[in-house]
Structure 1
C-alpha cells in the first residue's frame, strides 16, 4: 500500500498509487506521490513517466474521513498543500507524464490527470469533480484543461462525471481501451516518447509548459483560498457531514 516506482522499460518510470479501498489519499499520500514523481523526473535515465493506480479506480481524491476526524485546521491545510504539491509535481516533472486511468477519477484525480501531458483511459473510466457535494472547492483549473469552459462550469456546479469516450471526443484523452489493455497502451505511448533524445524531450517539456496560457500552480492556489474560506465558515463541515451520512445510509 502507498506509492511505488518501477522501471519496466528503458527510459520509463511507472509511479503506482495504491491506497485501498478507493485510492482516496491521506495528506502524507499526496506528499509521497509528489516526491515519487519528482524523483522519477529528476532521474537522467528516465525520459517518460507513467502514472497509474491499483484497485477499483484511479483516484477518489482526498481522504474525507481524515478531514472528518480532525479537530483543527491542520488536516485541511495539509490536504491543500499536499494536493498542490502532487499536482505541481506532475506538471513540473522534467519529462512527459502519461496518466493511465481506470474506473473513477474524481476530485484530486482530476488535478493529477489535468496536469499530465497525455491521458490513456479504460472504457470504464469516469472523470469528475464532486467537490460541491463534499464540502470542498478546487481543481476547476485542471478540469478546464480537459473540457471546454462552459462544459467545465456545468460539470463543476452539478458534480456530474463524464466518460473517457466523451473526453476522447474533446481531444483530452489520447486513447480509450478495454481495461485489460490499459497498461500496455500507456506503456506503448511512453515507449514512443522515451525513444526521443533525453535532453531534447526535457527541453520540449519546459518549452511547452512555458507557453501555457494559464499558470496552473497560481490558478489552483487561488481556488484553494476559497476552499479554506468554506472550512472557516463551517459550511464545508456541514456538507461533509451530509456526505458521510449518505454513505453510511448506503452501507446500512
Structure 2
C-alpha cells in the first residue's frame, strides 16, 4: 500500500483506521476509492485481530461527494457501473461484522454522507456540515439511507433543496451521534475505538448483528434474534470472563470504600 492510494488502512492494538486519502480533490469519491473501500472492508471483516474500525479522512473535507470529473467523456454504461461500484462500497462498510465509526469533519457531501451513514454511527467535528445535492446534479442518490436515518420528510427537504445542514441540526435529527471540537476528533475516535475493541469480539459482533436484524422486524421476532445471539455467547464461554471482571471490580470498589471510611 502506497501513501498515495485513495484509501489507506492502518491497524494497531485491535483498532483499524480506514482513511479517505484524496485531500487534493477534497476526498471526492471516484472509482479507485470505491474499489479501495470495498477491498479494505473485505479484509478487515476477515481479520480476527481487529475489534473496531474508524473511518476518517485526510485534508480539509471528509468527502466532497462523487468525483464528477471522472465522468467527463464517459457513456451511460460506464456511469451505471461506477454507481454500482459505489453501492458495493457502501454495502461492504455496512456489512462489516466489526463496529464501524465515522469520524467526519468539514464538508460531508452526497457520497460522503452515504459513506458516513453506512457506518454504525457518526462522530462529527464541530466544523462539519452535511449536504445532499444529487437531484441538483442531475442524478439520484441518498434516497434510501438518508430517510431511514432522519425520516422521509426531512430527507426530501434536504434532497429537494440541496441546502447545507449544520452539525448541530444533524445531531438534533439523529444523523450525528456526538459532536466534538475539531481539534479533539481524532483523540475522541482513538478513545472510542479502544473502548469498543476492548470488549469480547463475539459479543460485540452479535450485538451489532442483533440490532441490524432486529430493526427489520417486529419486537417479538427481534427478541428471538437476541436470544439466539445470547445462546451463541453462552456456548462460546467468554461471558464467564465478563462476570469475573464485574465481580473483581465490585470487590475493588468495596475495598476502596472501606479504606476511605477508615480514613
Residue of 41, 45, 48 corresponding to 1:37: 41
Does the CA contact (< 8 Å) of 1:110 and 1:142 recur in 2? no
Matched, 1:173 2:162: no
Tell me the distance in 2 between the aligned counterparts of 1:212 and 1:115.
15
Matched, 1:191 2:194: yes
Partner of 1:21: 25
Tell me the distance in 1 between the aligned counterparts of 2:58 and 2:66.
16
Q: Who wins on radius of gyration, i.e. which is larger?
A: 2
Tell me how far 1:14 sits from its aligned partner. Answer: 0.4
Does the CA contact (< 8 Å) of 2:29 and 2:112 recur in 1? no
Does the CA contact (< 8 Å) of 1:21 and 1:55 recur in 2? no
Residue of 63, 67, 76 corresponding to 1:63: 67
Unmatched 5+ stretches in structure 1: 215-252
Aligned to 1:146, the other structure's residue is in SS state helix
**How many residues were matched structurally?**
212
Aligned to 2:25, the other structure's residue is in SS state coil
Larger RCO (CA within 8 A; separation ≥ 6): 1
Partner of 2:53: 49
Tell me how far 1:86 sits from its aligned partner. Answer: 1.0
RMSD of aligned residue pairs (Cα, Å): 1.6
Tell me how far 1:28 sits from its aligned partner. Answer: 2.1
Matched, 1:135 2:152: no
Partner of 1:7: 11
Tell me the distance in 2 between the aligned counterparts of 1:212 and 1:79.
30
Q: How does 1:1-252 map to 2 (within 5 A)?
A: 1=4, 2-8=6-12, 10-19=13-22, 20-70=24-74, 72-213=75-216
Tell me how far 1:73 sits from its aligned partner. Answer: 2.2
Tell me how far 1:161 sits from its aligned partner. Answer: 2.1
Tell me how far 1:171 sits from its aligned partner. Answer: 3.1
